Amino acid sequence: MANDVSAGISGSTSTIAGRLALAVTLLAFGLGFADVVDGVSAADAVAVAHYIGGVALFVAGLFAFRDHDTLNGTGFVAVGAFWFTWAVSADRQVSDNAAGLFLLLFALIALSLTVSGGDQLAQGTYGLFLVALVLLAISRFAGNDSLAKVGGWFAVAAGAVAWYAATAALAHWPTALPGRGRAAGRGVTATG
């Protein structure tokens, strides 16, 4: 097909599963903060963050390490630890400054994952997650719910990119923009 482009995505099962777990968790987390669904808040995403984002993502990271995929292994394990920590501490009363600091520290991990290379969709996912975390941290420091909603929308966008990356690898959809040093042409599609 003439519109196929280079994949740049590892088609390993652990990478696809990790991206799906990340996508679901980011979407639940982001939609909760964005206050899109009446009566659903970020606190309602705790179970998803605990089991899918924390446990499943962490395990996917371990399998990625087993497959010698250091970048995805590091990303999934580090972000899985974030989700697990966020979920288990959700019932604890912490100051807004402590919550903001927690979010900023994990924004540093998202920054490292964004600039570490990898494929465009992973960089896009982590870059949007970085912006979400920074906005959410600032909203906690400033007590600004409107800024938290904007951060939620960035998390939703990150989740959508992660979902597309996983689905594209499974469905052999295009996953890289032409012209970024990758050959675009016939027969070059996503692996998976």
Task: Tell me yes or no: is domain 13-171 CATH 2.40.160.
Answer: no
In the chain, the N- to C-terminal Cα span, in Å, equals: 17
Classify 36 as helix, strand or coil: coil
Which of the 8 DSSP states describes residue 43?
G
- In terms of Cβ atoms closer than 10 Å to its own Cβ (0-12, 13-18, 19+), residue 179 is exposed
What is the reported pTM? Answer: 0.85
Q: Tens digit of pLDDT for each residue in 108-162? A: 999 999 999 889 999 999 999 999 999 999 999 999 999 999 999 999 999 999 9
Confidence class of residue 4 from pLDDT cuts 50, 70 and 90? very low
Q: Tens digit of pLDDT for each residue in 14-56? A: 899 999 999 999 999 999 999 888 888 888 888 888 899 999 9
Domain boundaries, the chain: 13-171
**64 CB-near residues (< 8 Å, 6+ apart):** 12, 14, 15, 18, 72, 73, 76
Classify 3 as helix, strand or coil: coil
